[in-house]
Amino acid sequence: MASGPIRDPKTDDLLTPQNSALVIIDYQPLQVNSIASMDRNQLVNHILAVAKTGVGYRLPIVHSTVNVKTGWNKPPIPPLRKVLEEYPTYDRTSINAWEDVEFRKAVEGTKRKKIIMAALWTEACLQFPALDMLKEGYEVYAVADAVGGTSPEAHEMALRRIQQAGGRTISVTGLICELQRDWNRMDTVQLMIDAFLAAGGTPGLQMMYDRDTAAPK
């Protein structure tokens, strides 16, 4: 068996490291602790997996917080700060990040139209900029199991509204696999496995890979 030729990664309809950017918004203690649409520990594992995927596949990353400089809110949760320590943080007062000048310039500066988004809460800090960006011609991919709302209904209605406006939803595992695309791209296979495990995936994938790539005795 042989893989087909690699499609142009800049014009591919699917997400690639060369045609997409990652936006992460407001994973701060107050927001994380108010999530009621999914298990909070799982939420943290998932956003860390998304962030590690973005860093590992070298996506342009725009990281934003709200009200840190005003003193009304705390910085991002420490594990996420550690993963994204080399990236600037764009602090805002606006609930809708797209209405913040520096944030908007940072997204535009990526020169990418496919935007992978994760934000807290789903019904506000994800939904509002997603709708605005869709209106301006961006393709928005909301990572549905790495975002959360103040209730299951609030989360679900926000994702539904984004979809109705033309946005896409994607899972953490789907994102990882879409960026990797082929097991034969050996340079990033271990990155793919590490991101999958960070999201809470079964260690069996690592064991299978180790077994299949072990040198014959």
pLDDT at residue 117 greater than cutoff 60: yes
> What strands, in cross-sheet order, belong to the sheet with 61-66?
89-92, 61-66, 20-25, 114-119, 139-143, 168-170
User: The whole model's pTM is what?
Assistant: 0.92
List, for residues 26-70, the tens digit of each pLDDT value. 999 999 999 999 999 999 999 999 999 999 999 999 999 999 999
Are the C-beta atoms of residues 66 and 73 closer than 8 Å to each other? yes
pLDDT band at 158 (very low <50, low <70, confident <90, very high): very high
Percentage of residues in the chain with pLDDT exceeding 90?
85
Higher pLDDT, 184 or 24: 24
Cα-based distances in Å from 69 to 89, 90, 128, 143, 149: 11, 10, 22, 27, 24
Higher pLDDT, 199 or 208: 199
Q: In this predicted structure, what is the pLDDT of residue 199?
A: 87
The token pair that represents 145 in the structure block? 């199991």
- Domain limits of the chain? 20-213
- Taking residue 124's Cβ as centre, other Cβ atoms within 10 Å add up to 20
Q: In this predicted structure, what is the pLDDT of residue 211?
A: 47
Least confident range from 4-8, 63-67, 111-115: namely 4-8
pLDDT band at 200 (very low <50, low <70, confident <90, very high): confident
Q: Which fold has domain 20-213?
A: Rossmann fold (3.40.50)
> Length of the chain in residues, anyone?
217
Beta pairing, strands 89-92 & 61-66: parallel
Q: How far apart are CA 121 and CA 43, in angstroms?
A: 12
Q: Specify the DSSP element, H or E, that contains 211.
A: helix 204-213
pLDDT at residue 208 greater than cutoff 50: no
pLDDT at residue 84 greater than cutoff 80: yes
Higher pLDDT, 152 or 212: 152
Are the C-beta atoms of residues 50 and 15 closer than 8 Å to each other? no
Q: At what angle do helices 40-56 and 172-180 cross, to 10 degrees?
A: 10
Q: In this predicted structure, what is the pLDDT of residue 203?
A: 56
